[in-house]
Structure 1
Amino acid sequence: MNSEEAINEIRQQGQQEQKQYVAKVIGTDVKFPESGVFHYLDNGQIIWKAQIHIEGAPAIGLYLDNFDLPKGVNMYVYNANASQILGAYTTENVSPEDKLFAIQPVQGNYVNIELNIEPFVNLNDISLSIDNAAIHFEGISYLEQYRNPSEGVFIGADPFGLQGRGAECMIDAACYSASDADVAKKASIQTLYLDKRGQLVSMCSASMINSLGNTKENCNNYVLTASHCQSNNLTRLGDTTNSAFSQVLFRFNFEKLACDAKNRAQVDVISAANFVARSEYDGRLSASGMPGDFLLLELRIRVPSSYNAMLAGWDINDQLVYPVNTGKQYVGFHHPSGDIKKVSWHNTILKSTKHITINFPRDGSKGAVYGGTSGSGLFNTDNRIVGIASTASGAVTDCPNNTYNSLNYYKFASGYNYDLGIPTRNLKAWLDPFNTGATTANATNTQCEGLSIVSLDEGLEKGVNFYPNPSNTGLLNVKFDLENSQNVKLEVFNVMGAKVGELKVNNITKGDYALDLTNLSSGVYMIKCSNGTAVSTKKVTIAK
């Protein structure tokens, strides 16, 4: 399995199936307690250890088909010399509906699994079963820092500090100096999917994306990627169940900290998401033949603030600048060939009904794309998502065989309005749950702190205010300070998107009005302000 010939066969298979494979999966049968040994400490604590060895494996990932640990049990996973330690993992990391879990690659051909068990725990309450192990051969150069030199050369060895086979034609994200693209970089992540049908792990790129319904109290961490990145193991159709995404790994900050060949990449990982929406997908057809190519997921846990990740803004306007003549650029961050985060930027774009096309290296474009770029976002000159990397073609001279010179981004606006009659078939139902009619959204962090709700009209945004906010009674004062007389309608929505109140004020320029929401329970509400031509949204809190 560790031979270049076997790996090249898998790479060629991926090209034929429009997938970027990064690991080969083999079945395992590791279970608690029979697969390990117990160690009893003087303080009453019990340590259980098991080990998996795969000869020749440069790195091993784990897939658990039953992970149910009671309170007082922590799981750790580490390599042979214990220089790479992952965990502690607890049941809080797992959805109770299926108890599936996945663990990122561990360096080397040995992986140790350890349970730390407190004295009060009943051992019969512990359920742990590992049914698959993944032998990773792509995107693992960063693990070289954990390897003991006595282990010999391994596939991920990186003597020139390139950190990935795609590096020779790529530009590291850390080397892109434009500060206005920092949000786009922090919103761009990598996804790894388990394909049990072919016993392989595939990967794509993706973007964290903001919703107009987000509040600090209800902050949905959505992930946007391409629909063709994932399909059912047997039918090849796109999955729409939560369990299909229970073992997806999401890599954050998989990049170098500085533009320096000696600077080793870091990575932060979250496992598992729920299905939200996707375009129709049939893996038996080419991605170019699909009517759409978007997939929206929601992480099951909020991204820790320590990851410093962002939820990107978006734009559904079709008035894309061509060519860009403002000194700004279209930019995309992605993970080609499973590598650490790369960047490409573009001064010229081509538009069609469904796609935005980028040509490399001409038309002022810098960088290139490989398999694995799929699903990444294209950000406009205002740093908002306008496209999702979908299909590629052609070849770049003097680059590896899977380097493409033309990339089609599926238009974000097309996915936004894909099938408005079915919530699971469009983005609008989730990214504008209050039906504000907004055409753009701003970015925020993954905690939704300092959230800036988009406004389509600066006059409404500044000229209509609510106080007290929060209100301990539900009775709000509405203060109008508009530049000219307008007919304003105020619509109140709860966090589920249901309309729960309304106030119409005609011919208003300045003045104070009462908005009675005393019949509503405590919580966060969105107020849509409209004057017939423009819209603004405000968040208010009732705390009785």
Structure 2
Amino acid sequence: MTPIQSTILRAALAGCLAWGMAAGAKAQISLGGTPPSFRYEQTLRSRAAAEKVAVNFSIADEKLVGSWRESEGLAPRCVSRLIDVKMNPQNAGAWTTLPDGQTIWQLEIEAEGAQALMLYYADFLIPEGGRLYLYNQDKSELLGAYTHATNPDGGRFATGFISGDAITLEYAPGPDGRQPRLEIEAVGYGYNLPEGDRTWRQGAQLRRTAASCEVNVNCSEGDSWQNEKRGVCQMIQRINDRGYVCTGALLNNTAQDLKPYILTATHCGQDATGVKATDEELRQWQFIFHKEYSTCRSDGQTTPTRSMVGCTRLASTPTHGGSDGLLLLLRQSIPEDYNVYYNGWDRSEQASAWGISLHHPQGDYMKISTYTRPLTSATFYGEGSLEGAPNAHWNAVFAQTDNGHGVTEVGSSGAPLFNSSHRIVGSLTGGTSACTKPEGDNLYGKLSYHWNKQAGTDTHFDRFLDPTNSGVEVLDGRYHRSASAPSGLKAVMDNGRVRLTWTAPTSGAPRTYYIYRNQMKIGESTTTSYIDATPGQGTLAYAVTAVYASGNESNGSTTLLEQVALKAPTNVKVTRTTNGRAAVLWEAPVYEQSIYWGGSRAHYQVNVNNTGEARPFYFGQRWEPKDIAPLNLRTITAVRFSPTRGNTYEVYISQGRRVYRQAITQTFTYGVTNTVTLTTPFTIDGAEALTVAIYVAHLTADATNFPAVCDEGPAIDGKGDLYSFDGHAWERLHTGKDAAKFNYNFFLSAVVSSRRGVLEECGTSADCRRAEVLPPSDVTPHLRSARVEDVSERAALRSMQPYAFPEVTGYTIYRDRAKLATVGTTPTRYTDPSTLTRTVNYQVAAVYGRSESEPSAVVSFTPTANAEVDAAEPAIYPNPFGDHLTLSAPERVSRIEIFGADGRLLLKQDRPGTTVDTHTLPAGVCLIRLTLNDNSQRTLRGLKH
């Protein structure tokens, strides 16, 4: 594709953050609490004079230079300038004894005109039992208590921003009276707030407000992303003598050992000249979790934040010539009570059809941006000669949603990009989107490129995110302790409503369950059932999660349901009876659905033979009786799959002892899904397992020939991943020592019609024997795979299990839009008893329980002698019948077939006369199918005495 020009490099392209914290909020690894001096009014301020820090630079010049660098795409927005100092309890501050006899040390630092201050330490170690607090002049913001657990090894450290131009440190020793090691080496002078914003002087939280089109993460758009947001953080990076902000995300790894890996962008770790943060400066980086508005409104109501300080650089890919990915490791494990989420990831090249990004634009509270168009591959271009590796980025174009039109801004850099499976696929480099250009580009370095595409081992993420060498392409996220999920979600249509039922988690006691439809939360339930009263139409993707007292939300139990529009009857016509009345005739509506196991796109090709061999084989999918039961006696009319060049294919369907084969002679269109219509529809027996497969009857010996196309996985083991060499004994693709490597489903589907069929008895063919799925074996099949190059984007299917068709229970006949009558399902004919003297219009609607379809198109009738005369409609009588039944209009019937209630054929007679001998039939309900001379069919319900 044409490379995308990005006009700004969002980085450390950073905005301001919420400098302050509400009193009582927790930050870093701290215990909370209240400074001892707060108990005494006379010690509101430090007894010692404030240590004044000289501001030896021009704020106006800093802003001017920063703005120029941003406009040139050379640098991130700087949020603070560091002023070197050297202060400690030995040379600054004062020790004070409180009225209760407790001794404390206080140090007040003032930097005139600052909007916020942040302290950097060359050494920070609190003795056991000691506590350190930081607060502003009016005590509206408080950090601490910091304890020995905060930075137990000592060394470099940083404490967060507090609004105002003065900050007080207060240290309370433990019982042993030991003094802390506090070597303050720099004061971060925050200055880059919006012009005219002076609310910080009253102690309000300081922040640079994101653009007005942005969407808060706790709006409805974020309902189904509440786990993922807990793994996204705002970063404050020290680089040389300045501070910047970016966005980062916490990642899970295959060892599942809770190592705190942070994904962000490489450019977040370097300044305008390309100088990288040193290892010592990385120890002073801050990572702030849970920075959100508590509701959809930006009304100042926020959630308590939790912070970590210090990291090491593990791997990075360059911005120029690479994918701009940076992987960090926090220096300390994250406490369980922080309730963070270790996000899952997807390192495949699969372009997600939709998803979101979570970020902190301008350093503001977390926002969500939603894309509904498929991601596309792109090359990143910055200003001048800056150019990423070819197609090493995903481009996301964000959409208008209910509460705004999310974009990305400065400060969003490094933000995670999530796919529709809630896994991270990239990290933000830059883009052109803005509220004034909401559909601009947003380029995210691909995780698949970060993984191991860049030359040099220090660029490879795989060493850390897959330490077990599992080779998996996708990994789910997790909390510190796994939240047990519900299972067995089922969705059943009931008169236009959907009833959901599920099984409770095997461990734990959920506080409630969240119910989602198509990724949007629609309700909650404290029981294991829920009614969706307004499901709408189309594909309904339901999910139910368990939510615990901690607020942790489990993974979801999911199911898909196809809610189709209720169809009206077809081929409606009106004829004149022999006595001049109007006879309305119609055909029952016909529905279709595709059934298959697996993912949404074709993605890989495989061959199950040894290298150089060209042995024919079958690949297919299987449904157990419980899966296929809703489609009992319905008919398979077509099979869809993606052929590859140089191979000959056949359709192969087996169920019980019945086998259907059909050679495929049509001309294929390669690179798309081809539909093969069955010569004879195959009737489904709801009591037998069904296998639908493609037989590769002939393939070349070319070592690059991969005749079977697969999805992107994961495999639905034993259902979506079956292959065979004889059509009877089936092996699983996802088995053996290379199971992870071939974790796919074969890419095919069957088209099922609502028309009922006949269960023919098995013939004498040698193939007339039951298929068998073999148990997993230790023998690894000889599998070879290659990426699909021309199929994946165009041969898409949605994963779909069988569902029951809407059941017609009757028909309503309308004349001139007024209801005339309601009749049963057979016959599909109605004679208007009225004597008509003028032209009238008829319509017919299908009745589905309590619901009714829209009426059919209008058909007019004029009661004249020239109107078409209706031949008598074939019918049976009497009903119930005994050893004989009588057939009206037998001259119109070419065949009569009678089936038992189980669908078995009991009687078949060609060209029947007026009387049909039925003495051999068992008593009970039966279905009588009449095939007419024009090959149309009528199905009647009968009862044998």
Please report the TM-score for the alignment, with normalisation by the length of structure 1. Answer: 0.71
Please list, as runs of the form range in 1=range in 2, the aligned pairs for 1:184-333 lying within 5 A after superposition: 184-196=228-240, 199-214=241-256, 218-231=257-270, 236-238=274-276, 242-266=279-303, 267-279=305-317, 281=318, 287=319, 289-321=320-352, 324=353, 329-333=354-358
Shift of residue 121 of structure 1? 3.3
Ranges in structure 1 where 5+ consecutive residues have no aligned partner: 158-162, 282-286, 462-481, 492-506, 514-528, 535-544
Q: 1:70 to 1:292 in 2, by over 3 A?
A: same
Q: Which stretch has the larger CA shift, 10-19 or 347-356?
A: 10-19
Counterpart in the other structure of 1:459: 717
Report the residue type matching 1:89 in the other structure. Answer: Y
Higher normalized helix content (fraction of residues): 1
Q: 1:226 to 1:358 in 2, by over 3 A?
A: same
Shift of residue 206 of structure 1? 1.0
Counterpart in the other structure of 1:135: 189
User: Given the alignment, which residue of 322, 327, 340 partners 2:365?
Assistant: 340
Q: 1:350 to 1:509 in 2, by over 3 A?
A: closer
CA deviation map 1:413-447 (0-9, x unaligned): 0001234862x321111111111111100011145
User: Given the alignment, which residue of 56, 61, 66 partners 1:10?
Assistant: 66
Work out the percentage of aligned pairs sharing the same amino acid.
Answer: 23
Whole-Å separation in 2 of the counterparts to 1:360 and 1:243: 38
Shift of residue 460 of structure 1? 8.7
Report the residue type matching 2:93 in the other structure. Answer: G
Q: 1:176 to 1:207 in 2, by over 3 A?
A: farther
Whole-Å separation in 2 of the counterparts to 1:54 and 1:237: 27
SS in 2 for 1:251: strand
Report the residue type matching 1:227 in the other structure. Answer: T
Report the residue type matching 1:189 in the other structure. Answer: C
Whole-Å separation in 2 of the counterparts to 1:332 and 1:129: 39
Q: Determine if the alignment matches structure 1 residue 368 to structure 2 residue 407.
A: yes
Q: 1:47 to 1:429 in 2, by over 3 A?
A: same
Q: Determine if the alignment matches structure 1 residue 381 to structure 2 residue 639.
A: no
SS in 2 for 1:39: strand
Shift of residue 236 of structure 1? 3.2
User: Given the alignment, which residue of 173, 180, 183 partners 1:117?
Assistant: 173
Whole-Å separation in 2 of the counterparts to 1:175 and 1:43: 49
Whole-Å separation in 1 of the counterparts to 2:475 and 2:400: 31
Counterpart in the other structure of 1:418: 453
Whole-Å separation in 2 of the counterparts to 1:270 and 1:138: 23
Counterpart in the other structure of 1:521: none
Counterpart in the other structure of 2:39: none
Counterpart in the other structure of 2:376: 350
SS in 2 for 1:260: coil
Report which structure shows greater RCO (CA 8 Å, sep ≥6): 1
User: Given the alignment, which residue of 715, 737, 741 partners 1:489?
Assistant: 737
Q: 1:57 to 1:191 in 2, by over 3 A?
A: same
Whole-Å separation in 2 of the counterparts to 1:28 and 1:426: 39
Shift of residue 237 of structure 1? 4.8
Report the residue type matching 1:263 in the other structure. Answer: G
Shift of residue 118 of structure 1? 2.1
Whole-Å separation in 2 of the counterparts to 1:32 and 1:72: 17
User: Given the alignment, which residue of 71, 90, 103 partners 1:33?
Assistant: 90
Q: 1:421 to 1:55 in 2, by over 3 A?
A: closer
Q: Determine if the alignment matches structure 1 residue 75 to structure 2 residue 124.
A: no
Say if 1:22 and 1:338, in contact at 8 Å, map to a contact too: no
Whole-Å separation in 2 of the counterparts to 1:7 and 1:490: 57
Q: Determine if the alignment matches structure 1 residue 175 to structure 2 residue 175.
A: no
Whole-Å separation in 1 of the counterparts to 2:139 and 2:401: 49
Shift of residue 140 of structure 1? 10
SS in 1 for 2:296: coil
Whole-Å separation in 2 of the counterparts to 1:316 and 1:418: 11
Whole-Å separation in 1 of the counterparts to 2:201 and 2:76: 32
Say if 1:396 and 1:405, in contact at 8 Å, map to a contact too: no
Q: 1:82 to 1:449 in 2, by over 3 A?
A: same
Q: 1:293 to 1:28 in 2, by over 3 A?
A: same
Q: 1:139 to 1:184 in 2, by over 3 A?
A: farther
Q: 1:485 to 1:25 in 2, by over 3 A?
A: closer
Shift of residue 130 of structure 1? 0.9
Q: 1:20 to 1:306 in 2, by over 3 A?
A: farther
CA RMSD of aligned residues (A): 4.1
Whole-Å separation in 2 of the counterparts to 1:386 and 1:290: 19
Q: 1:274 to 1:346 in 2, by over 3 A?
A: same
Shift of residue 11 of structure 1? 3.8
Q: 1:42 to 1:361 in 2, by over 3 A?
A: closer
Report the residue type matching 1:430 in the other structure. Answer: F
User: Given the alignment, which residue of 509, 519, 523 partners 2:775?
Assistant: 509
Q: Determine if the alignment matches structure 1 residue 85 to structure 2 residue 142.
A: yes
SS in 2 for 1:21: coil
Q: 1:178 to 1:62 in 2, by over 3 A?
A: closer
Q: Determine if the alignment matches structure 1 residue 406 to structure 2 residue 468.
A: no
SS in 2 for 1:183: helix
Say if 2:216 and 2:298, in contact at 8 Å, map to a contact too: no
Task: Kindly name which structure, 1 or 2, has the bigger radius of gyration based on alpha carbons.
Answer: 2
Say if 1:59 and 1:109, in contact at 8 Å, map to a contact too: yes
The number of residues matched between the two structures is 447
SS in 2 for 1:414: helix
SS in 2 for 1:173: coil
Ranges in structure 2 where 5+ consecutive residues have no aligned partner: 1-56, 379-390, 485-553, 556-712, 720-728, 740-772, 785-945
Q: Determine if the alignment matches structure 1 residue 428 to structure 2 residue 462.
A: yes
Counterpart in the other structure of 1:537: none
Q: 1:355 to 1:95 in 2, by over 3 A?
A: farther
CA deviation map 1:355-377 (0-9, x unaligned): 11134679999322211111001
Counterpart in the other structure of 1:63: 120
Q: 1:172 to 1:15 in 2, by over 3 A?
A: farther
Counterpart in the other structure of 1:102: 158
Say if 1:224 and 1:296, in contact at 8 Å, map to a contact too: yes
Whole-Å separation in 1 of the counterparts to 2:323 and 2:128: 44
Whole-Å separation in 1 of the counterparts to 2:192 and 2:306: 17
Say if 1:20 and 1:337, in contact at 8 Å, map to a contact too: no
Q: Which stretch has the larger CA shift, 23-32 or 220-229?
A: 23-32
Please report the TM-score for the alignment, with normalisation by the length of structure 2. Answer: 0.43
Whole-Å separation in 2 of the counterparts to 1:138 and 1:100: 25
Shift of residue 102 of structure 1? 0.8
Say if 1:303 and 1:447, in contact at 8 Å, map to a contact too: no
